[in-house]
Chains A and B, each alone.
Chain A
Amino acid sequence: MAKLRISNLSIRYGDVRAVTDVTLEIPEGKITAIVGPSGCGKSSFLQALNRLTDLIPGCEVSGSVKLDDQCLFAAPALDTISLRKRVGMVFQRPNPFPQSIRRNFEIPLREHGTPKREIPAIMERALTDVALWDEVSGRLDQNAGTLSGGQQQRLCIARALALNPEVILFDEPCSALDPIASMAVEKHIQALRGRFTIVIVTHNLAQARRLADSVAVFWLRNGSGRLIETGPADDVLSQPRDPDVVSYLNGLNG
């Protein structure tokens, strides 16, 4: 079962072609890792999946992305607000709103029409999912900026979970964290398998091996990011076919 069907997706910023002609299916309830060297369009690709590309001036997207059977870009397109409720995102740098922890949940939940009295329970459940509840339950009205980097990132994951999305996009969620915080975050992503469809961009191949059910490798060819290999994680990571991927994996393994 494919949750997201991407076909012939190209992304350009003005004259720069960031991503060219990507066709990929993201299986439902599984973790799909996007790997590849930096600058090969992984993040741009991810941002197209919740139309965050709209925020970038001069960014043009062509091809099609379908969530279940609904088009993201072609008419009749899903409106961005309900799209982003269904497709959540966690960024590389933790980005809680500079307000209280509680407000970080209230603002998005109220926006999507959750009644006020249901919010505390949702917030508790989401924070428990990332093992943050015990750490912050006594100081929910403190500014989220006072949390440590790892806690902030887990808060951001919980904030995305609270909207009960169908898909969650992770854009190198551990690369701004120290190794211990990074392992904690990874463990929580692991635990979300099955409940959500997860797409994670990472440049950490060991992490991809530990987390992913399937892997897509992006590569820079002719000045543009392309998908060069895809399949179940075990196959791609242990027996890659593309020579570039072979040397990439060997280089990093050796």
Chain B
Amino acid sequence: MVLRRPVDCLLGWVGGLIALATAGAFAWILWDLVRLGLSQVTWGFLTGELSDGGRSGGIGPVLVSTAGILGGCLFFAVPLGVGCAIWLSEFVRRGSPWARAVIGGVDLLASVPSIVFGLFGMTFFCQKLGLGFSILSGGLTLGCMILPTVIRTTLSAMRNLPSDLRPSSAALGLSRLTMLREILLPSAFPGILVGITLGIGRALSETAALIFTSGYATRWPASLADSGRSLSVHIYDLAMNIPNGGANAAASALVLLALILAINLTASGLGERWRSRQTGLRN
């Protein structure tokens, strides 16, 4: 007993110190961003145009481009991803070769590095389909990237539904379409929303896949066919290519972090609600 104690103590302390250091690093990053950038974040910064290569001025056009890219991304990934997940959970048997092939492909897609998505997006959307460096190209590229997130989350939402919903719907003579539309999808909806939210979070964070698909333009985008930089690309450009861009980069990073935080809280809030609804049903 006496001999065991020191090991126990040591393990506890080392683990605790590492946890503390992780928290400390996070705090350090946040503090530096706040120190460098918080004073810049004003209403004028959020809505204003860029000037002097981004060193001064705001990020209005960048936010609009980011929204455009996100829109294109969701337009592509949500119908495809949700459709695929429904097919996997309702229309094929779980272990069947087709289901395994699709799930395997989707999981491998999730492992593809983002820079490779960039390379692919540039070749396929920009060049092959002739969309050029545009918000649409960037959005579609990100759409491919977040597809696995949407599919996996929707699939687990569908599979976690109470298993007796399906026989009880069938016993009432509901067609599969009605069962899906009226029973399964409404029940799984919060879970699907969590998947979409997680996908938005991933898309917002992405830089490498966008540099060579949606481009660098800093003007107000006129349409989806216009080039436009996302918030993350803006931070990268200010940090790497624009001398003395640090303050505005930090401010943009703060804005991005705030967005990500909001997305994350929404997702976990939705998840909570979904879970409590599920358990509420089972009591």
Contact = CB atoms under 8 A, between A and B. Distances in A.
Interface of A: 50, 52, 54-55, 57, 80-85, 88-89, 91, 93, 95-99, 103, 107-108, 111-112, 143, 145-146, 156, 159-160, 163
A178 to B, nearest CB: 14
The 8 A-B pairs with the shortest beta carbon distances in the complex, nearest first, are A84-B173, A89-B171, A145-B281, A95-B168, A95-B164, A108-B172, A85-B173, A107-B182
B281 A98 contact: yes
B178 interface: yes
Given A95-B162, A107-B183, A52 B167 contact: yes
Contacts of A83: 173
12 contacts: A55-B167, A80-B173, A85-B172, A91-B167, A98-B162, A103-B182, A107-B174, A111-B173, A111-B174, A111-B178, A160-B171, A160-B172
A145 B236 CA distance: 51
Contacts, number: 76
A159 B172 contact: yes
Given A97-B165, A98-B187, A107-B182, A145 B173 contact: no
B104 interface: no
B20 interface: no
Contacts of B280: 143, 145-146
Q: Which has the most chain B C-beta neighbours within 10 Å: A88, A111, A112, A143?
A: A111
Query: Taking chain A's interface residues, is the majority helix, strand, or loop, or is none over half, making it mixed?
Result: helix
A85 B173 CA distance: 5
B250 to A, nearest CB: 47
B35 interface: no
Q: What's the interface size class on B, roughly?
A: 20 to 34
B277 interface: yes
B111 interface: no
B277 A98 contact: yes
Contacts of B277: 98
Nearest to A165: B173
B93 A50 contact: no
Given A88-B171, A96-B168, A107-B174, 9 more contacts: A52-B170, A52-B171, A55-B166, A57-B93, A81-B173, A91-B168, A95-B165, A98-B281, A146-B280
A96 B277 CA distance: 14
B119 to A, nearest CB: 41
B269 interface: no
Contacts of B174: 81, 107-108, 111
B83 interface: no
B186 A112 contact: no
B178 A50 contact: no
Contacts of B173: 80-85, 108, 111-112, 163
A81 to B, nearest CB: 5
A54 B170 CA distance: 10
Interface in B147-173: 162, 164-173
A123 to B, nearest CB: 14
B241 interface: no
B39 interface: no
Contacts of A91: 164, 167-168, 171
Contacts of A145: 280-281
Given A98-B187, A99-B186, A107-B182, A88 B164 contact: no
Given A107-B178, A145-B280, A93 B172 contact: no
